[in-house]
Amino acid sequence: MGLDSIDFDGYNLRKSIFYGVLFFAVTGAVTGLIPNPLYVRMVSITALDYFFLFTTSFLAAAFFGKKECGVTEGRLAKIGGVTGFFAFSCPICNAALLVFFSSSAIMTYFDPIRPFLGVVSTAVLVYFLLRY
């Protein structure tokens, strides 16, 4: 019995594992939580960074493993994934934030709310996972 045959109640385990590993690998490498030669993180890594990486990857995988996922629900659930990304990414290394704010403003105002963003991300993903 392989992963191809594991499909129950509109849920595809193979698809879920694929998306979870993909999300974990890509976002982990881009944020420097998975060590790689292409990216060096400028802010120290905390246990919460790894926690939110694992949590966001797992919940995103569970949501996108569903067979029936409407476009609207998918877009709204992606908000949880993006929020999770900001929760465990390096705030100074994030070019999107640096375009709008200075590095000192990011470290003063954005860095302290990153754990809150992780909680929001988890809540959004759990909500859409249970709702749809």
Q: What is the pLDDT of residues 94-107, one digit of tens each?
A: 777 788 888 888 88
Section 73-86 average pLDDT: 81
Enumerate the domain spans of the chain: 8-131
Rounded Cα distance between 47 and 115, Å, is: 11
Asked if the model's pLDDT at residue 64 lies above 70, the reply is yes
Section 97-124 average pLDDT: 88
Asked if residues 94 and 86 have their Cβ atoms less than 8 Å apart, the reply is yes
Asked if the model's pLDDT at residue 52 lies above 80, the reply is yes
To the nearest 10°, the Cα dihedral for 70, 72, 75, 79? -120
pTM for this model (two decimals): 0.82
